[in-house]
Chain A
Amino acid sequence: MNIKGTLDSYRKKEFKPSEFIDGILNAISKKNPSLNAFLEVRPEESRGKALELDRRLNEIDHLPLFGIPIAVKDNFLVRGWRATAGSRILANYESPYSATSVERLEAAGAIVVGKTNCDEFAMGSSNENSAFGPAKNPWDLQRVPGGSSGGSAAALAAGLCLGSLGTDTGGSIRQPASLCGLVGLKPSYGRVSRYGIVAFASSLDQVGPFGHTVWDAARILEIMAGYDSKDATSSRTVVPKYTEALANASVKNIAIGIDQKWLEGLDEEVRRAFDKALQGLREKGAKIVDISLPHACYSLSVYYLIAPCEASSNLARYDGVHYGHRTKHPKDSEEVFFKSRGEGFGTEVKLRIMLGTYALSAGYYDAFYLKANQVRKLIQKDFEDAFQLCHCIAVPTSPTTAFKLGERTEDPLTMYLSDIYTLPVNLAGLPGVSLPCGLDSKNLPIGLQLIGKNFEESSLLQVAQAYESHRGVFPEPLAVRGGT
């Protein structure tokens, strides 16, 4: 099932929104206990909206997401719903308003069916940093769905919604999409409003969709993208009709750049699937050209300075005063700050706050934050130079397929390395999309990442669409076929 097909079924009156949403809600109640993908569902509210749409079928052509069940990462505000961002410190936070992205999807007829699990404050690559236990990968329940938007990926892969929303600061949409066999799109920085999103690292955070197909992701993006007066970083650049651009998608004479050096040391099965995907694109008429991104290898160091610095500043607002957890029986105001934060934040979040605090503290700013920004500029320049030679860049999304729960939790660097192919894209502010390109010998999905020029999501999605058409329908995990 996908968005496009479901819209067709509604048009043909094969079933009504209320019937379809009921099926989704039943599937959630059956499968979520083992997946832990959702942190909150409100069946009555979702059902009420579906019943209302039953009566508005004649408006379907004006509601481009008519009756489409979507799952929303728990760091988005949806009015009246909780927004925990996967943290104890926000465990009881109730959203007073909705994020602009969610508001736009709802206005287009989408129905929020649940809020999804994520790494605390979107910091993580496995969903294991959630204060509410990790979401599991529907392809293998012993494995992680990726992170930080792991719940959004797991919910969609398990058939518990038709599209979902995530945020991507260093790969948090693309990596879980790769690990769960989905399309995951991180738009250009500024393409989608971030109003109503729990901030992590403001020069990197971006909102994006998960879909089963390129068309589905393009449809969600075209609805939520565009200027928002409530987000000063949102762009006024006109939003194209991304789905219309997909109709005649072709890669004939399109140059796709590859940096061979960047691929060194890659897992053999991932490499094989990646090479096969390139071969497919070549057969469709694309030219594969060599490019060089000599500073991309420094992205991990740059990211783990810039993101924690910004996080330490953004998370200063959780002080136990205005909202969120406050320690019991504080003896003075200072104790409110120290104890509320000490009790409310999880292990990884505290690590990153301290890392950022250290790097920004007196005497260290130049050596760390300034230096990281200088290297960030070199990384941006690498991409600018590469795009003189090619239309888009291809690289695997994740160096490995889904790993086992607990496998990378001991050493922070082992976990951080999960994102080596996604981090530079955020540092450069570019759009990137992950789409499934094969299965490994353990029957786990492998992701192909395509990176585009700034604000050229249309041409990026066309290349993705051309590959998807060549690849054919991607299999679904066992959980969808009734195995969970």
Chain B
Amino acid sequence: MLTREEVLKIAKLARLELTAEEVESYRKKLGRVLEYIHELDSLKTPQDAFVRHVPKDSVAFREDKMIPFPQHAALMKNAPDVEGGSFRLPPVLEES
């Protein structure tokens, strides 16, 4: 079972702000799933873990050619905040 601090550490790594109730709920749920997953510990497995995730013929390189994407405006339309065609965010560093 995970501790409250461990859950908070994971949430911080995952960039998730959680409420106090969520921390407790996830502590229990994560513990439950991890407990189940530990069944794999005792299983003898080969050292070679390479699993082919892509079909054998699908990784050939395509021609290195620029293909314009004409829907630039449509992409920017989804941005939460835009200034001069760029994404705008609050300042990262305080102005001195």
Contacts and interface: CB of A to CB of B under 8 A. Distances in A.
Interface of A: 92-94, 96-97, 188-190, 202-203, 227, 229, 232-237, 298, 300-302, 304-305, 312, 316, 319-326, 330-333, 335-339, 341-343, 345, 347, 350-351, 353-355, 357-358, 361, 367-368, 370-378, 380, 411-413, 416, 429, 455
Contact of B74 (A96, A229, A322, A331): A96
A362 B55 CA distance: 30
B87 to A, nearest CB: 6
A298 B15 contact: no
5 contacts: A94-B77, A354-B7, A354-B16, A375-B43, A455-B55
Given A235-B58, A373-B51, A321 B89 contact: yes
Interface residues of B, number: 52
Contacts of B47: 374
B79 A190 contact: no
B57 to A, nearest CB: 5
Interface of B: 7, 10-11, 13-18, 22, 25-26, 29-30, 32-34, 36-37, 39-41, 43, 45-55, 57-60, 62, 71, 74-75, 77-81, 87, 89-92
A229 B62 contact: yes
A336 B45 contact: no
A376 B32 CA distance: 22
Contacts of B41: 367, 371
Contacts of B32: 411-413
Contacts of A190: 54-55, 58
A416 B83 CA distance: 44
> Which of B29, B34, B36, B47 has most chain A Cβ within 10 Å?
B29
Contacts of A371: 40-41, 45
A332 B90 CA distance: 5
Question: A interface, by DSSP: helix, strand, loop or mixed?
Answer: helix
A204 B37 CA distance: 19
The 9 lowest CB-CB distance pairs between A and B, nearest first, are A342-B17, A96-B74, A374-B45, A326-B80, A190-B55, A323-B78, A235-B55, A203-B53, A338-B17
A360 B32 CA distance: 18
Instruction: Report which residue of B55, B62, B71, B92 has the largest number of chain A beta carbons within 10 angstroms of its beta carbon.
Output: B55
A413 B33 contact: yes
Contacts of B89: 321, 333, 336
Nearest to B92: A333
Contacts of A368: 37
A350 B81 CA distance: 25
A351 B26 contact: yes
B48 A377 contact: yes
A301 B43 CA distance: 12
Nearest to A308: B33
Contact of B45 (A227, A234, A350, A375): A375
Contacts of B37: 301, 304-305, 368
B42 to A, nearest CB: 11
A354 B10 contact: yes
Contacts of A345: 16
A323 B87 CA distance: 9
B15 A378 contact: no
